[in-house]
Structure 1
Amino acid sequence: MTETATSGANVKRALDHKVLDGRIIGQEIREAVAREAAELTAVGWPPRLISIVVGDTDAALIYIRNQQRVAEKLGIAFEQRVYPAETTREEMLAAIAALNADPRVTGIIIQRPVPSHLSIKELQSAVHPMKDVEGMHPSSIGNIVYNDLVMGPCTSVAAVEMLKYTGLRLEGLEVVVIGHSEIVGKPIAFLLMSEGATVTVCHHMTRNLQVHSRQADAVFVAVGKPGLVTGAMIKPGAAVIDIGINQIDLPDGSSKVVGDADYESCYEVAGWITPVPGGVGPVTVSILLRNLVTAAKLQKAHYESAFQGGFAPCAPAAAPIH
């Protein structure tokens, strides 16, 4: 059996069970990324991801480790750049501008959170759209409205990918999104609408949340409140895509990571459910690296067009993106 066939079989096994295993689903995406990264490297365009951390790295440490581990496994260069917490706005914007102009850098990710004197929105907006592998530049977010998903927001795209793997027909599907953040909830709603789903977005001001969620064929939740969604709030057979990541303390003094859905009670009712950890998270990293390969392709095409056929593999070292 070929590697691709093996991957397909693994994904089928993952979906034969109601638990949507992000590690298996993400593997299929990563195999394609590895092949494309190797092809780009062979012609002188090796994908390279720069991770920017400002101040304390503890909150983002688990994400950074996962990103670096997966990237290096796929033959993708990953570099972490850590800036002191007191780095000024002007210094950060200058650092991002330098990375934008460096043709050896194909992707930039800004790890959250950033110190309070910095605006994550401003920093993200400063990243060149062709290097915005997070899909969080205003132009990348705005493109979703026009159904342009070249490099969509990683977490949102990953969550919708998980729903697609259930085999449910998205056209006309009744979906409830709980959480309306700019980086997850709202993009998910637009992505689903572009697929023809009927979407209701709920948030902290929504009255009778259970009334909405019980009518849905699929429920997405991303609010940062452990156990918010229970089995009593889910229609039997519905898909539950849990994007929340929360650390809770246990009576014995230890802690564990859980989602926004009460897994045990939702498992009994749902037709499909994503675990936390091991659900949307691994697929998000896979989408991030898929975006990186897409970014490298876009930049390669940009330079080849600029050089009008006079392109050579070493050319990226000479010309920045403007």
Structure 2
Amino acid sequence: MTAGTIDGTAVSRKLLAETAERAAAFTEKAGRAPCLATVLVGHDPASETYVKMKRNRSRKNGITSRAVELPETTTTDELVAVITELSNDPEVDGILLQHPVPAQIDERAAFEAIAPGKDVDGVTMYSFAAMAFDLPGFHSCTPGGIMRLLDAYDVELSGKHAVVVGRSPILGKPVGMLLLNRHATVTYCHSRTTDLADQVGRADVVVAAVGKPELIKGEWLKPGAVVIDAGYNPGNVGDVEQSVAAERASLITPVPGGVGPMTIAVLLEQTVSAAEATI
């Protein structure tokens, strides 16, 4: 058996086209385009590249991007003040604080300064609680994108065993909540899991989100499992041993071109949703 490919590029293209139509409709009705404010602290090259890409993608889909760039020496109080000002600005619909921030900043305090209605990246405690309780709110973008991919490929989740490898607050933990809300039985694994191979081997759906290249071996997989590789490591390597996994899985996301394109597509879609809520 050779796994089918879950094409995140194609799915994201469709979502972005729908988002652009909604952005145009909002612009016509409101007299302004939806606005995403991006906040970048310091000069991390990867972060600068990501933010630039998000701004370009915003512009191509009818969303205004407001860039806020702060020096490496910014304090927590200074960053919180900037984010609070953006939260109170009626011309800003969504706020994205690029991760990671410099070590002297309390990142959680900065995230919590984002107004819930503008948390289009799904990073606040409010958004996590909304995900956990299956209430209206913004999803963390990568988990939200993963769910869109599973839906696009008609992956049945109810009653299935999903194993999430990773427990980060913006990927592993929230994707587990979203899967649980779809009636999957969810097991979280992490760096202290002693029987990782056995846990993965029982999974109908595997979500790898740990940030360690090829940690998940293909031979561990149950034949026919669906594999979502949310890892991205140097050299275009994911968290799953793709070559072997593709021989056992029924569906698998490639790296790159799987989960990655969905993250920004969900970010922009949620920005438009935030804008629409203002009129």
TM-score interval w.r.t. the shorter chain?
over 0.9
Matched to 2:23, the amino acid is A
Q: Does 1:262 align with 2:241?
A: yes
CA distance in 2, matches of 1:115, 1:168: 39
Secondary structure at the residue paired with 1:147?
coil
User: Match for residue 53 of structure 2?
Assistant: 66
TM-score, normalised to structure 1, is 0.83
Any idea what the Cα deviations from partners look like across 1:248-279, whole Å, max 9, x if unmatched?
xxxxxxxx221111111111111111111111
Mean CA deviation greater in 102-111 or 149-158: 149-158
User: Match for residue 160 of structure 1?
Assistant: 147
Any idea what the Cα deviations from partners look like across 1:182-206, whole Å, max 9, x if unmatched?
1111101110010011111111111
Residues 116-135 of structure 1: matches in 2 within 5 Å?
Answer: 116-135=103-122
Unaligned runs of 5+ in 1: 1-16, 248-255, 301-322
Residues 138-217 of structure 1: matches in 2 within 5 Å?
Answer: 138-217=125-204
Secondary structure at the residue paired with 1:296?
helix
Matched to 2:242, the amino acid is Y
CA distance in 2, matches of 1:29, 1:97: 30
CA distance in 1, matches of 2:210, 2:138: 24
The answer to whether the 8 Å contact 2:223/2:250 transfers is yes
CA distance in 2, matches of 1:160, 1:64: 23
CA distance in 2, matches of 1:60, 1:129: 23
User: Match for residue 221 of structure 1?
Assistant: 208
CA distance in 1, matches of 2:32, 2:137: 19
Secondary structure at the residue paired with 2:96?
strand
CA distance in 2, matches of 1:221, 1:71: 28
The answer to whether the 8 Å contact 2:230/2:239 transfers is yes
Number of residue-to-residue matches in the alignment: 277
Any idea what the Cα deviations from partners look like across 1:291-321, whole Å, max 9, x if unmatched?
1011111222xxxxxxxxxxxxxxxxxxxxx
TM-score, normalised to structure 2, is 0.95
Q: Given the alignment, which residue of 73, 98, 101 partners 2:88?
A: 101
User: Match for residue 293 of structure 1?
Assistant: 272
Unaligned runs of 5+ in 2: none
Matched to 1:104, the amino acid is E
User: Match for residue 273 of structure 1?
Assistant: 252
CA distance in 1, matches of 2:48, 2:5: 27
- Give RMSD over aligned pairs: 1.5
Q: Does 1:88 align with 2:75?
A: yes
Q: Given the alignment, which residue of 21, 24, 35 partners 1:35?
A: 21
1:45 positional shift: 4.2
Any idea what the Cα deviations from partners look like across 1:104-151, whole Å, max 9, x if unmatched?
111110001101110111111001111111011111111112211431
Aligned identity (percent) is 37
CA distance in 2, matches of 1:67, 1:18: 29
CA distance in 1, matches of 2:190, 2:247: 25
CA distance in 2, matches of 1:61, 1:266: 33
User: Match for residue 5 of structure 1?
Assistant: none
CA distance in 1, matches of 2:58, 2:241: 32
